[in-house]
Amino acid sequence: MLRQRVITALVLVAVLLPALFAASPVPFGLLTLAMIAAAGWEWGRLNGAPGAGAVGLGLLLAAACALTLTTALAEQAPAAMWTTFALVWIVGGAAALRAGPAAWPRLPQALRLVIGLVLLWAGWLALVQARALGINFILSVLCLVWMADIAAYFGGRAFGRRKLAPSISPGKSWAGVWSGQLGVLVLVGPWLMAEAGGTFDGPSLFRTLLVSGGPTLALLSLLALVGMSVVGDLIESLVKRAAGAKDSSRLLPGHGGVLDRIDALLPVFPLAMALVAR
């Protein structure tokens, strides 16, 4: 299982990095559209859409994203929009987690489908706009989430006594949350030093937060972003538990589905854009 996970992860990195660093935005755009279509399909399946219906939802979401690329939103979304989505994730996420898995299926199916598709669209648009701010910026956001996840895994295994949300995701612990936050803080120092001594295509998220808000606000913002990555992970776990599914699909051997890989990114990118929007 571990070998399969590692192989799949290496393949994903081998696909992502060339698309991300390509001179043309087309490869990255096509890759993200394919991923968002798969995520939309998985969301439909988890929420009771039949086979063809789930495929249709994935294609509809990809078409909506492609259409967005032809509008002014692709250039720069209003700061108020990112603030709204950040609040939706914070308030709505807290309400959903408080209600638990049993409450999710009681919502009308159409509402559940729309909520997921809209949040997937917002996460995709935030990803696109983060790429427009520079490779250094988008990589810093991605690495923040990846570092939080890795540190939480090892910290939780070593010190995880008190469970975070046992009815939703029994494997997660408060020690994992603190470890994830500590891991990100360890990451920030070397990243900022590398920026100070090198040439990049733009500032990272870390540099932007530090310059715009100062050390204290930057620290609080980073801790909040790590916290929201946990919320994204828990929300997907809640939906899977309500559906009786272990993974969102089997598209990625050893990892599950696309949603299983991007769940923590979905709230973090809109919140990151809200923090840096002017």
H or E element at residue 230: helix 205-243
> Nearest to residue 224, comparing CAs of 99, 94, 44?
94
Q: Is 226 exposed, middle or buried (0-12, 13-18, 19+ CB in 10 A)?
A: buried
Question: Do 43 and 57 form a contact (C-beta atoms < 8 A)?
Answer: yes
Bridge partner residues of 243 (DSSP): none
Alpha helices in 133-204 (DSSP H): 135-159, 174-197
Which pLDDT tens digits describe the chain residue by residue (278 residues)? 557 877 888 888 889 989 999 888 888 988 999 999 999 999 999 999 999 999 999 999 999 999 998 888 887 889 999 999 999 999 999 999 999 999 999 999 999 999 999 999 999 999 999 999 999 999 999 999 999 999 999 999 899 889 999 999 999 999 999 999 999 999 999 999 999 887 888 999 999 999 999 999 999 999 999 999 999 999 999 999 999 999 999 998 888 899 999 999 999 999 999 999 87
Amino acid code (one letter) for 81: M
